[in-house]
Amino acid sequence: MKIISFDGNQIGISDGQFVWSAAGLLKDGVPWPPVSAVRLINEFDTLRDSLRGLLHTEPLGPLDSVRLEAPVPWPSKLIAYPANYVSHNDEMHTGNRADVNGFFLKSPSSIVGPHDAIVLPDISGAEVHHECELAIVIGKSGRAIPRGYGRDHIFGFSCLIDVTVRGQQERVMRKSFDSFCPLGPWVVTADEINDPGNLEMRLSVNGEVRQGANTKDLIVGIDEMVCMASSVMTLFPGDVIATGTPGGVGPLAAGDQVEIWIEDVGSMSVPVRKGSAVDNRAFANRVAGG
């Protein structure tokens, strides 16, 4: 099943061609904070049959008749694993590895949808890079989840671009600008992905392929990423895990069009535009790297 958000925090499902609203299945939908997706994921076991039943009713309209938004716009956490592909670690000349250094947090407010632009902060001399990543969306709460049981806590998967200012500033600051986390176009439920540890993925800029990899090359795999995060903090339904980027990262410029595709998950193409100047002394004092 493909879970979508659209047209002002409405929640629904799609078959890739048409759209059905699930508003009638949720008790009291509210426009803000946009947590309908989190509630749907939390209640999914009881809603599953009703949601499937929607597919046999008259759709709201074709998929392109609505404006898709981030499928999970308000997760309690956006967890990210850096240095999780050898090909990326090599290009960054870093000795960091996800199995040694673990994960970090990126601001959930950086999440935008498949029809939103990546807005580049105007920081003199700074490069802003694209990182092509598979996103895990948590389905069931868990703490200290044993190895081998992480997958039981996964609701589904999505495409994620981890946009990053390169530099020596704290990672959370470089990666948390508004719009720095395009997510979408939907969450594909885990039952539709045969093996998340063997998915081809690709990212292109203006039609030119920049990143191509397979999730089988992850250093810390899908199951273990869930377990490792849960060894520190309780995972909640809707939490998003960015699983790391393969080699081929590079700078984005205003006017670029960035397309991400992940096998069996989906694709989305987002524009890049110029933002305003950043009044932040840490970026003014920037040095290269990171």
- Looking at the Cβ atoms of 82 and 150, the one nearer to Mn ion is 82
- Residue from the set 118, 245, 252, 262 that interacts with Mn ion by CB under 5 A: 245
Q: Which residue is nearest to Mn ion (CB)?
A: 162
Q: Which stretch binds Mn ion (CB under 5 A): 94-102, 118-126, 127-135, 276-284?
A: 127-135
Tell me the per-residue interface mask from 161 to 180 with Mn ion, x by CB under 5 A, - otherwise: -x------------------
**Rule CB under 5 A: is residue 131 a binding residue for Mn ion?**
yes
- Looking at the Cβ atoms of 69 and 162, the one nearer to Mn ion is 162
| Count of residues that bind Mn ion according to CB under 5 A | 3
Q: Which stretch binds Mn ion (CB under 5 A): 55-63, 238-246, 265-273, 280-288?
A: 238-246
Q: Which stretch binds Mn ion (CB under 5 A): 99-107, 156-164, 179-187, 211-219?
A: 156-164
Contact 266, 176 (CB under 8 A): no
Q: Which stretch binds Mn ion (CB under 5 A): 32-40, 223-231, 244-252, 266-274?
A: 244-252
- Looking at the Cβ atoms of 48 and 216, the one nearer to Mn ion is 216
Minimum distance of Mn ion from residue 163's CB (angstroms):
9
- Looking at the Cβ atoms of 3 and 138, the one nearer to Mn ion is 138
- Looking at the Cβ atoms of 131 and 239, the one nearer to Mn ion is 131
**HEC sequence for the chain:** CEEEEECCCEEEEECCCEEEECHHHCCCCCCCCCCHHHHHHHCHHHHHHHHHHHCCCCCCEEHHHCCEECCCCCCCCEEECCCCEHHHHHHCCCCCCHHHHCCEECCHHHEECCCCCEEEEECCCCCEEECEEEEEEECCCECCCCCCCHHHHEEEEEEEECCEECCCCCHHHHCCCCCCEEEEEEEEEHHHCCCCCCCEEEEEECCEEEEEEEHHHECCCHHHHHHHHHCCCCECCCCEEECCCCCCCEECCCCCEEEEEECCCEEEEEEEEEEEECCCHHHHCCCCCC
Minimum distance of Mn ion from residue 108's CB (angstroms):
15
Residues that bind Mn ion (CB under 5 A): 131, 162, 245
